[in-house]
Amino acid sequence: MKNLYILGIVGCLFMSSCQDFLEKEPSTALPVEEAITSMTDLKYAVNGIPYLLSQDRMTYSADFAIYADLRGEDFYAISNNNQAGILARYSINKYSAEAYYAYYYFYKAIANVNKILNVIDEVPYTENEKATFDDYKGQLYAWRALLHFDLARYFCRIPTTGVDINAANSGLVLSTEAYDNNYVGERATLKETYDQIFEDFNTALPLLSKDKHDGYINYWAALALRSRAYLYNGQYNEALNDAKEVIACDKYKLYTIDNYEEAWGKEFTDESLFEMKITSVYNAQRNAVGYYCDANGYGECAFVKTAWLYQYLTNNTDDVRSKMIKVQEDAEEYGEPGTYPAKYPGRENSLYINNPKIIRLSEVYLIAAEAALYAENPEKDTDFYMNELRKNRISNYTNGSDFTIDDVLKERRVELFTENSMSFDYWRNKKSVKSFHVGESINYDDYRTVLPIPQDEIDLSGGILVQNPNY
């Protein structure tokens, strides 16, 4: 689609080398073939991919983090600022800015990945730089897999919901090469979409470094992300095997009762397999997730006090996650007093600056617990993974047994709230969620579980691009 591919390579993002690069001409000002002619240029180009996903609506540091939560029953928009609240009200249509931002920024980032991959094999490197070169290349393939996966979560049905995965136009427009400005793409099937996601993860993994590398996708992060994608695709044995390998890695460990609360105000903590670095320069400002989750911000992601999650947290103070509630009875002139999640406290006295934790080790434990329920595995692994997580969260915890899918889903609500998980988790397991604002249950096969393709994209395609049903 035309407006998706009129793109250059975005400049540097976030890393310690960024300051030097900011003094250079941005690579968006140059044709890509000229912009990437050395390993240094390649580094800057790879660093630039997250830039597009940190500064505007529906991206990782903004609405994305609370998308699935607002569409469930645990959180609601107190204010009516018409920002994230539209997600909670299920009032997005094909003309809505939210659908456009989600589509535009993720595809734009993929297009930048493809432009780099288009020239990467022409970049000279020394023998000593071979491993670094491979790692950059692996990161690009991992990014493309992740971005297609999250686009699919936004705009496609989840494969495990019983949808026909081979139905025409059930998947994404797959973006796997650098296209010219007149390119018009058709939607693939859902099966083809997930096949492409796994192909890119599989290409990435042998190339990626196994060293811990804060702010970057390494081998362990990509493996965890592939495990998540396998879970959504119903490939439970594969999801479990990937999760087990990540859990066995000694580079990451679960937060403990002693450090859980403080971890949310810090960067690159024990559990963080992959998080993006947000700074005072690179952030989504008033659309930052921290601004939604605060009385003095937009006030559009507050706890529903009658919902199960809030009741659990307030009635189980022996669970350290109960501390992730902030009661704000006072607010500034235009604020919204209420009870908010405390996972995004900000840094440098700014609600704008919170690193989005794209995937944490605790989620990998929960992926393993869920996958083990469905996998061809005679061992009761679900109990092990649930107990390992819970004993690091609950004081004086006694091991439980015979955990069910409902137990796992509730544990995900407690552990992963405001991390874009809840409604997806229930729909993935063919369950409904109760919408606070709509006042009804949204079933897993409801057309509103996916976003509409922006009408602008359909118009630009000349009608080749097919809209999602009922929009």
Confidence band, pLDDT 50/70/90 cuts, at residue 235 = very high
**Residue closest to 84 by CA, chosen among 290, 300, 338, 354:** 300
Tell me, what's the pLDDT at 33?
Answer: 53
In a domain, 445, yes or no: yes
Q: Alpha helices of 96-211 — where are they, by DSSP H?
A: 97-119, 130-155, 190-204
Query: Which residue range(s) make up the domain with 87?
Result: 2-276+356-460
- Report the pLDDT value the prediction gives residue 82, as an integer from 0 to 100: 78
**In this structure, what token pair is assigned to residue 466?**
């097919």
Average pLDDT over residues 169-191: 93
**Domain annotation covers residue 60:** yes
Does residue 436 form part of some domain?
yes
Q: Is 349 domain-assigned?
A: no
**Band (318; pLDDT cuts 50, 70, 90):** very high
Instruction: Report which residue type is found at 377.
Output: N
Nearest to 316 by CA among 403, 418, 390: 390
Half-sphere exposure of 34 (CA within 13 A, CB side): 8
Q: Which helix (H) or strand (E) holds 422?
A: helix 422-428
Domain-located, residue 333 = no
Task: Please give the structure tokens belonging to residue 451.
Answer: 């976003």
Q: What is the mean pLDDT of residues 96-118?
A: 96
Give a yes or no: residue 345 inside a domain: no
The percentage of the chain sitting over the pLDDT mark of 90, rounded to a whole number, equals: 86
Percentage of the chain lying above the pLDDT 70 cut: 93
CA dihedral 436, 440, 443, 449 (to 10 degrees): -50
Give the integer Cα–Cα distance in Å for 428 and 374: 13
Which pLDDT score, from 0 to 100, does residue 35 have? 84
pLDDT tens column, 379-406: 779 999 999 999 999 999 999 999 999 9
pLDDT band with cut points at 50, 70 and 90 for residue 32:
low
Q: What is the mean pLDDT of residues 139-162?
A: 98
Query: Does residue 26 register a pLDDT over 60?
Result: no
- Across the chain, what does the average pLDDT equal? 91
Whether residue 469 is contained in a domain is answered as: no
Tally the domains of the chain.
1
CATH number of the domain that residue 391 is part of: 1.25.40.390
Is residue 293 in a domain? no
Q: Classify 226 as helix, strand or coil.
A: helix
pLDDT band of residue 13 (cuts 50, 70, 90) is very low
* CA 43 and chain centroid, separation: 23
What is the pLDDT confidence band of residue 377, given thresholds at 50, 70 and 90? Answer: confident
Report in angstroms the alpha-carbon separations of 329 from 332, 335, 339, 351: 10, 10, 8, 18
